[in-house]
Amino acid sequence: MTPLRSPRRRLVDTTAWAVTVWCVVLFGTFVPIVTGRDSFPLSTYPMFSSPRGETARIDHVLGVAGWGQRRPLPPRLLGSDEIMQAHQTVSLAVRGRTTRALCQRVAQATLEDPAHADIEHIEIRTDTFDTMAYWRGDRQPRMSRVLARCEVERRGPS
Amino acid sequence: MTQTVMPPDGSPWQAPAERLAALRLLVGVYAVGYLIGRSGALIGVADQASTQFRPVGPIAWLAHPLPVPLVAVAVVVAIMLGFGFCAGWHYRWTAPAFAIAFTWVLSYRNSWGMIFHTENLLALHVIVLALAASADAWSLDARAGRVGILPPAGRRYGWAIQLVSAVTVSTYLLAGIAKLRHAGLGWATNQALAQFIAYDNLRKAELGALHSPLAPLLLPHDWLLTPLAFVALAIELGAPLALLHPSIGRMWAIAAWCFHVGVLLTMFILFHYSILGFAYASFFPVERAVRAARSTRLQRMSRGLERRCCVRWHGARPKSPDRV
């Protein structure tokens, strides 16, 4: 049979455990300040902290319809429902110079999506916008660079 | 089960076992619900190109992504352990195992080039609750007599609740420090918030996602955002004050919740754990809400039983008091 601990002994044990857990958890929470590393679950919480300039450089994937009209494609065509994950996919492809492969993948996904049956080409671009002017109605990019362009190969009725 | 005596409201370190148990139930049910609700995304993320794999946190040692079936098994195991955590079943073993599995699954999802800062606090809360005696009340362990007689309300439970609160305020303080580090006090004065709102919504619009309908209305009047930036920074840097007294803690929690509502309205960023209030549960006597919900359920059950008995034995429903 397990011997019962006295209330005093139990209090000492609880206090020692509580102090240990407090120190370890709080120390761990503040470690990223020293290391400067954003990780999980310990983080520096850098979101919204670095000042943004007056322009925004966006790596994104556009679908080009038959009449030349471009529109951004939803994140699910890039393999994720999460907008930020999809954004990261494009940015990493741009940095890793693998935009061609990504373009082919998106073209395949577009082909299988009836909501985008009018899309004939896919473009991976880096566009630079004036952030404040954008919300005053001036949505034309100040600078554009097409990094990859590929066709959505639709076969007509045989 | 023994019901512990309620502590005086003025001492945040003193708490009944039921308060910690209620916190375990709230955070646990949320975490398991999150795993179930997001299981598609949690498993699907493993299907991405391996070149995107940037392992973080406890899985930083992984050199290559794991096969998708293995990730699916990890998610299922985490969910099963989560049920044990919520029910308080062999808590000493299931709770730490759930904390490890939950952190592992979320770390894996955050290892694809993008850290979702909406999940950090939830993972930290699960870890703290797993390390405390959170299943001394309202649990299968308590029902089976595995926890013995409950001690009176005190520090045995209060320290863990205070640590959950301390972790919450730490994350806000760290976010405030990050802003001061990168932009100084100018973050609140130099239109930084307006530029963030403009940038974030533009990015969403150009990436084919929904953006805040408020952005086009608010941004032409960007002077409105300077006081809001001050308030946001004050909530973050002033967060440790919330630990001084329960009433300050409750006021801070409400202010922080409003801050997240503002983020949702202006940037369409949903900090789900905070917006739904679970992140701030440790600042409130949550056991009262759980107890009220339980007693309402019990009353309803007993009323239902009474009615059924009357119909069976007397062939009539009981007369309501006003008809007697």
pLDDT at B322: 43
Contacts A135 to B, Cβ<8 Å = 198, 201-202, 215-216, 219-220
Q: Are B116 and A7 a contacting pair at CB < 8 A?
A: no
Judged by CB atoms closer than 8 Å, whether chains meet at B198 and A135 is answered as yes
Position B316 pLDDT exceeds 70: no
ipTM: 0.82
* pLDDT, one tens digit for every residue, chain A (158 residues): 445 567 777 777 788 999 999 999 999 999 999 998 999 999 999 888 877 888 999 999 999 998 888 899 988 888 877 788 888 889 889 988 889 999 999 999 999 888 888 999 999 999 999 998 998 888 899 999 999 999 998 766 54
Chain A residues closer than 8 Å to B92 by CB: none
Contact of B164 with B15, CB cutoff 8 Å: no
**CA angle B289–B295–B297, rounded 5-degree value:** 105
Q: What is the pLDDT of residues B223-279, one digit of tens each?
A: 888 899 999 999 999 999 999 999 999 999 999 999 999 999 999 999 999 999 999
Residue B305 has a pLDDT of 60
Chain A residues whose beta carbon lies within 8 Å of the beta carbon of residue B117: 43, 45, 47
Residue of B291 and B201 predicted with greater confidence: B201
Is residue B185's pLDDT more than 70?
yes
Q: What is the pLDDT of residues B4-32, one digit of tens each?
A: 444 455 577 889 999 999 999 999 999 99
Q: What is the number of residues in chain A?
A: 158
Query: In B, which residues are within 8 Å of A10 by CB distance?
Result: 151
| Nearest-10 Cα torsion for A33, A36, A37, A43 | 30
Q: For chain A, give every domain's residue range.
A: 7-48, 55-151
CB-CB under 8 Å, B174 with A44 = yes
Q: Cβ of A135 and B163 within 8 Å?
A: no
Q: B113 and A32 in contact by Cβ < 8 A?
A: no
Per-residue pLDDT, A43: 94
Query: Is the pLDDT score of B314 beyond 70?
Result: no
Asked if B153 reaches chain A (Cβ–Cβ under 8 Å), the answer is: no
> What pLDDT was estimated at residue A4?
59
Cβ distance of A135 and B202 shorter than 8 Å: yes
CA pair distance B146, B136, nearest whole angstrom? 9
Give me the pLDDT at residue A89, please.
87
pLDDT value of residue B298? 66
Closest CA to B72 of B26, B108, B31, B34: B108
Q: Is B315 helix (H, G, I), strand (E, B) or coil?
A: coil
The amino acid occupying position B272 is H
Q: How far is A147 from chain B (nearest CA, A)?
A: 16
| pLDDT on residue B313 | 52
pLDDT 10s digits, B39-90: 998 998 887 778 888 999 999 999 999 999 999 999 999 999 999 999 999 9
CB B50 within 8 A of CB B64: yes
Nearest to B182 among A7, A50, A86 (CB): A50
Average model confidence (pLDDT) for chain B? 87
Chain B neighbors of A33, CB-CB under 8 A:
174, 177
Q: Hey, what are B178's tokens?
A: 């990050």
Residues of B in contact with A92 (CB under 8 A): 51-52, 113
Closest partner CB to A72 (pick from B45, B177, B207): B207
| Tokens standing for residue B239 | 């967060």
Alpha carbon distance A90, A140 (integer Å)? 21
Token representation of residue B319: 């007369």
Residue type at position B293: A
pLDDT of residue B318: 47
Contact A22 B156 (CB under 8 A): no
Q: Give the model's confidence band at B319: pLDDT under 50 very low, under 70 low, under 90 confident, else very high.
A: very low
